[in-house]
Every structure is written in structure tokens, then in C-alpha cells.
């Protein structure tokens, strides 16, 4: 039984990664409904939170049906991070997560995200002080190191654990790699196999199939997998993995009708969360992924991503469900 603090997650839990402009409440809820064991918010700027910036505070919204849910924050200033912990606690998440892994230049240049991998002492200090500040379980997401010459992830994980973290997720690349090359899970396994490690060690990076999830579990011995890009446009992925764990067989790929229904549900939830205008606008980015690879579908996706009115999109969804139902009957 894998546990984050007192939160029981079963054997080899699947976690939805915090992804900018992807892991919003509607998408998290859909992933939860489809097998995710824990979901994390988009990363939230500590500086934005303490200044009450709308873009940051809106990311604090969570649905009850998402639980257990973690709110992830990033920053490099101790006072700002501690104030952010206080703000985050008021929204009553189940977990607070620190982002020590984002490789994006605008984050790194401020010494936050993966930038803090250049200062392990500060990384440990922030973790310790934030863990003391909250009664919620504190977790950390990071990378192997700044570059291949500075990989000290076994030491880093020990220090993070000793500072009070209740779990650590490690992306199997350095900051220098960004998302290029392949994730090296063997170095994450070194952390797991360290006899001093008592907290869960989750792997992240390149889990694009159920087979890869089993490999991470059985060959590398990790405690769970954090799923990122494989879930974009495919919230079914979590159940696909769990089905494969149980049966060693693949679930059928979602039908076009199921994809339409998922996109329709996503749009309805987004409108309920952010209102008509923003709900329509911010769901656009998901359509190309929901309908990726479907022949002769481009003209429909164009309507979805250019229409400003939900009625037009819902009408299109309705027409498409009828159209593809007729095609199925014809077969």
C-alpha cells in the first residue's frame, strides 16, 4: 500500500502531472473519473498568489470529486513560499506540492523550478520550512539534476525526505535536456533502492503506454507513475493502464462517439467553471488532441477552435454523433 502521509493510494498509483494550460479542474476531474489516483493542479506562482493575481488564484479552484488533489506551487523566495502555503491551505487541498523541476526559462531564470537544482541547500531549506508551515502532506517534484555533470539525485532525495517531504516525484531528465532524448528511469531506481528512503518514489517521463507503466513498476521497482503528456487528449489513459495491469490486454481505443462525448463534457465543465467566453476559449486547446488521427476531421476541428459560441459547438457535437452513428450502422 502506497501512502502520501495518511492518504492511502493502493498499489502503484497513477498520478496526473501538473501541466500548464492542461491540468485545469475540468481536465483533472475527467482524468479522475477515468482512473487517476491523484491529480495535481497546474503549477502556481507563489509571487502571483501573494499579490492576489487573478490568473494565479483561479488555479486554486478544486472540485470535491477530484480528491485526493494536490496544489503545486513554485518560487524561490522563502517568505513568498510560506505565505503561499497559508493561502493554499485555505482552499483545503489534500496535498501541497513544490515544483523543483520546471525547465522553462522564465521560471528557471528566477531560481525557481529546476533552477533551484543549482542550489541544493536552498532546495532543502525551502522544503523544511514549508513542511513545518503546513499540516498537510508536502510532496516534491524535481528532475535528475541541472545537467548530466551535476546529477546528485540520490543525495537530493535523501535531503528532501529528511526535510519533511512525504513523497518525491522525479522526472528522468535533467534541466539541460528539457524534454529531449529519453527519460532515464535507472537513476530514479537508484533513489528507490537507497535503503535510507522511506517515502514513496514516483517516476515521471515517457510513460506513453501501459507496457511502459508495467516496466516502470516491475523492472525499476518504483512506487507509482506520474502521467503527463500521455493523458493530453486521452483521459482514458489511466484506466487503459489499470486494465492492462489486471488482464495484460489492451482496452479498445475510444470510439469517435466516445471522443465527442468526452470533449462535450469537458466544454460543459469549463463553461460552468469559467463562464461562457473563457470556457469556450480555453477548451479549444484540447480539441486537436481529442480528435488526433481521425481521417477527414480537420474541417470539424476548425469549427471547434474558431467558434466563439458554445451553442455552435454543442450543435456540431450533436451533428457529429448522428453522423458517426449512421456510419457505424452502415458498417
Q: Which residues are catalytic?
A: 102
> What is the total residue count of the chain?
331
Could you give the 3-state DSSP secondary structure of residue 225? strand
The phi and psi torsions of 178 (rounded to 5 degrees) equal 55, -115
CA distance 194 to 183: 20
CA distance 19 to 24: 8
Radius of gyration of the chain (CA): 20
Please work out, in degrees rounded to the nearest 5, the angle formed at the alpha carbon of residue 83 by the alpha carbons of 80 and 87.
130
* Cα distances (angstroms) measured from residue 318 to each of 10, 120, 257, 263, 314: 39, 54, 10, 12, 6
CA distance 270 to 274: 6
**8 Å CB contact between 100 and 134:** no
CA distance 149 to 33: 41
What's the number of CA atoms in the CB half-sphere (13 Å) around residue 90? Answer: 7
Amino acid at each position: 500500500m502506497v501512502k502520501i502521509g495518511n492518504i492511502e493510494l493502493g498499489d502503484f498509483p497513477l498520478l496526473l502531472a501538473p501541466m500548464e494550460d492542461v491540468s485545469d479542474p475540468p481536465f483533472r476531474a475527467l482524468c479522475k473519473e477515468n482512473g487517476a489516483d491523484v491529480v495535481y493542479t497546474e503549477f502556481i506562482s507563489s509571487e502571483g498568489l501573494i499579490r492576489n493575481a487573478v490568473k494565479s488564484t483561479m488555479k486554486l479552484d478544486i472540485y470535491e470529486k477530484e480528491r485526493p488533489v494536490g496544489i503545486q506551487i513554485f518560487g524561490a523566495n522563502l517568505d513568498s513560499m510560506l505565505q503561499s502555503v497559508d493561502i493554499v491551505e485555505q482552499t483545503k487541498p489534500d496535498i501541497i506540492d513544490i515544483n523543483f523541476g520546471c525547465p522553462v526559462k522564465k521560471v528557471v531564470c528566477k531560481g525557481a523550478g529546476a533552477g533551484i537544482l543549482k542550489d541544493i541547500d536552498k532546495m532543502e531549506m525551502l522544503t523544511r520550512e514549508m513542511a513545518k508551515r503546513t499540516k498537510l502532506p508536502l510532496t516534491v517534484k524535481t528532475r535528475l539534476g541541472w545537467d548530466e555533470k551535476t546529477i546528485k539525485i540520490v543525495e537530493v532525495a535523501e535531503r528532501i525526505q529528511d526535510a519533511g517531504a512525504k513523497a518525491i516525484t522525479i522526472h528522468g531528465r535533467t534541466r539541460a535536456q528539457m524534454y529531449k532524448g529519453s527519460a532515464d528511469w535507472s537513476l530514479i531506481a537508484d533513489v528507490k533502492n537507497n535503503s535510507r528512503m522511506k517515502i514513496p518514489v514516483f517516476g515521471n517521463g515517457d510513460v506513453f503506454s501501459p507496457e511502459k507503466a508495467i516496466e516502470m513498476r516491475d523492472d525499476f521497482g518504483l512506487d507509482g507513475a506520474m502521467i503527463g503528456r500521455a493523458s493530453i487528449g486521452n483521459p482514458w489513459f489511466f484506466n487503459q493502464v489499470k486494465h492492462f495491469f489486471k488482464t495484460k490486454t489492451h482496452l479498445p481505443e475510444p470510439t469517435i462517439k466516445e471522443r465527442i462525448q468526452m470533449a462535450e463534457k469537458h466544454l460543459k465543465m469549463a463553461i460552468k467553471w469559467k463562464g461562457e467566453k473563457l470556457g469556450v476559449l480555453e477548451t479549444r486547446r484540447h480539441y486537436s488532441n481529442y480528435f488526433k488521427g481521425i481521417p477527414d476531421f480537420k474541417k470539424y476541428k476548425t469549427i471547434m477552435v474558431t467558434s466563439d459560441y458554445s451553442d455552435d459547438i454543442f450543435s456540431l457535437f450533436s451533428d457529429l454523433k448522428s453522423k458517426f452513428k449512421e456510419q457505424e450502422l452502415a458498417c
